[in-house]
């Protein structure tokens, strides 16, 4: 389809290199999403699954399995599993966040109702567990069921610390490991496990996935403020959503730590009490810029990218390895 | 603790016979419900798990495993798994139904918020999947992951046919198999599977669980109308909840089928359009009584009870077998 030219984004190069496997994943997703008894299910999920999702998590499983020399077909099932888990969490997140837009389009809870989002999310979780059982690997099941628990725990933790302006950085890291990095890590690990590689390789894949996931979420949290320069992102995301939802992300945590009493009172009112007025978003942004915490967050993300890339060194030289390495760079490069 | 006297209810006799196993299940539930990172989780679940739940589903797993001669400890894990799945679906159901009471107490979504109910439900699902992986039986995983998918599909189906006054009886049966009988059936089956019994036994346990579950849900739907005589139940359930939520249960489906044009207009207005006024609940109840559909629903439930009891014949004579048989009778007997 697309030519592998140096100007392509790493995502597109991976996508081209894995195009046959990805086509099989897409076919499997469509097949397993169907429900004979409840036509509402494919209606809701088709909306989400077709809505320009990048399939980054299933690509990680496919790429790691291939990079580890896997020659079977179970990686397709595991890649679809990972995407189902991701899609289920999106459906539930949108209910929890009362979101009205995702990727620039109305969310399922707005098009249908919260009930459908909750129940169809449950259906996708169940479908994911059916799929992950099929390859018959208990180690894979262990990894993916643990990831599912970490994800859910991270989501609850995020909810309980929302609006708590004393949230420490460690808690922020736990939250983003739960909401993002746990699934990236598991997606990479299971690729190595079905290829029956030794623990050194599997741990390296886990480190890569974790670093990529943490960096990805930090970048996402930064983009919610419009990026390092505070300019509006062009990715269909509203600037300041996290502020309005009173989420404690790294730029805010660091700005509160560095700020004076007057600034703390501002954060206590807007995030702590949720009393937000005209001009508060601009004021918040100017405080983040004053303390350079947007740039600091980018630097933190870059450190995780470096860790992710270094982990790949134990793997053999291979175009797929280089693409995974470039993908890690791109997670932060998209900020500039 | 309690003496095994003939006047005890079958539930209490089973509970006494399985008291050691049940204590182990309760300890495991408390242990796995905990979350180091998110204290909100045990707050929400303790409320529900301690709130007078009868542990009927885990008792089925324990009883079936013991009845099949199982001497290990994995039945405790599977019983806790089944209870976690059940509790997770209750949390999500209460969000979907916007319920304010369960078992006579305020629901979690009212005490905390919908967000917590959605996310803690997800956490319990994930914990269930972790637990079910531990015994290392792929057949068990197959049964429980299929049950989870059937449950979610049934819930979505219920949502999509709610307020559709042309819902056929077959669809009602699919819904109640999903929302109730699938987990009863799986709970019984996995007891036989870990005891490594042959397919005849496992199919018999499945038939028992399915019959018990269908009868249980039909009885529940009947109790929502106050039982066969339309009198208020004493189980902390509000009369007419299903009517207000425009759920199509068997007594209503049959009354619409037997009614004239004027009656159909009444159902079309109250359930189809949701335009409910003072006196409508009383009018609905009088139509069910006119067509004797409450008594018919009890008769249907009794037929499933008979099927469930007959299935137990392939199992050896044993006090546990008799208790399971009595339990099936009791599901409908509680209506009188």
Give residue B110's pLDDT band: very low, low, confident or very high (50, 70, 90): low
Contacts of B142 (CB under 8 A, 6+ apart): A133
The pLDDT tens digits of the residues spanning A268-294 come to 999 999 999 999 999 999 999 999 999
C-alpha separations of B118 from A20, A91, A95, B133 in Å:
36, 11, 8, 23
Q: What is the dihedral of CA B147, B148, B154, B155, to 10 degrees?
A: 150
What is the overall mean pLDDT for chain A? 89
pLDDT digits (tens, 9 = 90+) for B157-169: 888 888 899 999 9
Q: What is the pLDDT of residue A68?
A: 97
Number of H helices and E strands in chain A, helices first, is: 17, 2
User: Residue A158: its pLDDT value, please?
Assistant: 87
pLDDT tens figures, A305-322: 999 999 999 999 999 999
Q: Is the pLDDT of residue A232 over 60?
A: no
User: Does A208 score more than 90 pLDDT?
Assistant: yes
Q: How far is CA B212 from CA A158, B147, B182, B190, B219, in A?
A: 40, 16, 10, 16, 10
pLDDT over 90, % of chain A: 68
- Interface A:B, Cβ pairs < 8 A: 141
Which of the four pLDDT bands, split at 50, 70 and 90, describes residue A182? Answer: very high
Burial class (CB in 10 A: 0-12, 13-18, 19+), A303: middle
Residue range B50-82, pLDDT digits in tens: 655 678 999 999 999 999 999 999 999 999 999
Distance between CA B40 and CA B220 in Å, rounded?
Answer: 31
The verdict on a CB contact (< 8 Å) between B160 and A38 is yes
Compute the C-alpha angle A13/A16/A18, nearest 5°. 110
The per-residue pLDDT for A33 is 84
Chain A nearest C-alpha distance from B165 (Å): 17
Comparing A70-84, A268-282, B15-29, B40-54, the range with the smallest average pLDDT is B40-54
B130 has a pLDDT exceeding 90: yes
**For testing contact with chain B, the best of A31, A129, A138, A182 (most B CBs within 10 A):** A129
Element (H, E) at B255: helix B250-258
Residues with Cβ within 8 Å of B218's Cβ and at least 6 positions away in sequence, in order, are: B176, B250, B297, B298, B300, B301, B304
Answer with the residue of higher pLDDT: A104 or B290: B290
- Do A152 and B119 make contact, defined as CB atoms within 8 angstroms? yes
In the prediction, which pLDDT does A167 show? 96
User: Average pLDDT, whole number, for chain B?
Assistant: 89
Q: Which residues of B touch A161 (CB under 8 A)?
A: none
Give the model's pLDDT for residue A220.
93
Cβ contact A310:A241 at 8 Å:
no
In chain A, % helix, strand, coil (3-state, to 5) comes to 70, 0, 25
Tell me, yes or no, if A286 comes closer than 8 A to chain B by beta carbon: no
pLDDT given for residue A235 in this prediction: 47
- Digit-coded pLDDT (tens) for B174-203: 999 999 999 999 999 999 999 999 999 999
CA A101-A104-A107 angle, to 5 degrees, is: 30
**B148–A126 C-beta distance less than 8 A:** yes
Residues A5-56 have pLDDT tens digits of: 556 888 899 999 999 999 999 999 988 888 776 777 777 777 666 655 678 9
Domains parsed from chain B with CATH numbers: 10-136 (1.10.600.10), 138-319+326-336 (1.10.600.10)
Tokens of A188: 């990479």
Pick the residue from chain A with its C-alpha nearest to B148: A126
Cβ of A125 within 8 Å of Cβ of B148? The answer is yes
CA B290 to chain centre: 29
Best of A152, A186, A247 to mutate (most B CBs within 10 Å, chain B): A152
Cβ of A19: how many Cβ atoms within 10 Å?
12
* pLDDT confidence tier of residue B1, bands split at 50, 70 and 90: very low
Q: How many other C-beta atoms lie within 10 A of the C-beta of residue B272?
A: 17
Model pLDDT, residue A293: 97
CA neighbor of B158 nearest in space, from B174, B135, B141, B140: B174
């Amino acid at each position: 389809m697309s030519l592998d030219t140096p100007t392509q984004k790493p995502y597109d190069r991976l996508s081209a290199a894995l195009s046959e496997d990805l086509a099989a994943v897409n076919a499997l997703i469509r097949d397993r999403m169907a429900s004979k008894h409840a036509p509402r299910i494919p209606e809701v999920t088709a909306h989400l699954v077709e809505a320009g999702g990048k399939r980054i998590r299933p690509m990680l499983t496919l790429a790691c399995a291939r990079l580890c020399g896997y020659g079977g077909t179970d990686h397709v099932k595991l890649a679809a599993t990972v995407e189902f888990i991701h899609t289920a969490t999106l459906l539930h997140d949108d209910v929890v966040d009362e979101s009205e837009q995702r990727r620039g389009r109305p969310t399922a809870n707005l098009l249908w109702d919260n009930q459908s989002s909750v129940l169809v999310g449950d259906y996708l979780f169940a479908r994911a567990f059916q799929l992950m059982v099929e390859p018959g690997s208990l180690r894979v099941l262990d990894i993916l069921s643990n990831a599912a628990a970490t994800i859910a725990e991270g989501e609850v933790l995020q909810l309980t610390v929302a609006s708590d302006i004393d949230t420490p950085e460690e808690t922020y890291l736990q939250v983003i490991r739960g909401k993002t990095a746990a699934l990236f890590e598991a997606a990479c690990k299971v690729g190595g496990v079905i290829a029956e590689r030794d623990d050194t390789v599997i741990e390296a894949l886990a480190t890569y996935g974790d670093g990529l996931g943490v960096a990805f979420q930090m970048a996402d949290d930064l983009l919610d403020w419009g990026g390092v320069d505070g300019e509006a992102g062009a990715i269909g995301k509203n600037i300041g959503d996290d502020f309005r939802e009173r989420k404690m992300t790294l730029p805010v945590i660091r700005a509160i730590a560095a700020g004076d009493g007057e600034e703390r009172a501002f954060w206590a009112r807007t995030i702590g009490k949720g009393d937000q007025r005209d001009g508060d978003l601009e004021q918040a942004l100017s405080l983040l810029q004053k303390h350079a915490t947007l740039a600091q967050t980018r630097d933190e993300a870059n450190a995780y990218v470096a860790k992710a890339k270094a982990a790949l060194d134990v793997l053999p030289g291979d175009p797929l390895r280089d693409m995974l390495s470039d993908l890690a760079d791109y997670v932060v490069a998209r900020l500039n």
